[in-house]
Amino acid sequence: MPGEYHMVVHVCIFNSTGEMLIQQRQPFKEGFPNMWDITVGGSALAGDTSQSAAEREVFEELGYQVNLQHRRPSLTINFPTGFDDIYLVEENLDISSLRLQYEEVQKVAWADCNHIIQLIERSEFIPYHKSFIALLFDMRKMMGAFLRS
């Protein structure tokens, strides 16, 4: 509706070795079928907070319970009709224990920044700006835009 904003949430899960959990979308998924994407993402529903929407998306797509109740997004990116809250989380998940949502996710893998950029260059990953992917990796352990000593 005019004057309303659409809230999107993304959660990027990193392991302690600095790899991001990425997911491959199902071939029948509308929009970027068969392509790799960052860990999870989706739209908030009426009544959701950013945190509850992000927690729900992680649980729905991966079957993993993450607690974001006392966290603010690491990044917020505006687009013409809304905004995207992005949470950067470090969790050493055993990906073989995840319960992938059949309607959305065909498989998951750990990948470093260079591998994701290679996938983007081969048109196998959603076409994010390569600098955006690098920023996610750079910001995964900090809040704010400058280094604190």
Indicate whether 149 pLDDT > 60: no
Q: Could you tell me the pLDDT band of residue 145, with boundaries at 50, 70 and 90?
A: low
Q: Could you tell me the pLDDT band of residue 4, with boundaries at 50, 70 and 90?
A: confident
- The tens digit of pLDDT for each residue in 85-117 reads 999 999 999 999 999 999 999 999 999 999 999
Indicate whether 22 pLDDT > 90: yes
pLDDT value for 146:
63
Indicate whether 35 pLDDT > 90: yes
**CATH of the domain spanning 6-139, picked from 3.90.79.10, 3.40.50.460, 3.40.605.10, 3.30.450.20:** 3.90.79.10
How far apart, in whole angstroms, are the C-alpha atoms of residue 104 and residue 60? 9
pTM over cut 0.85? yes
Indicate whether 17 pLDDT > 60: yes
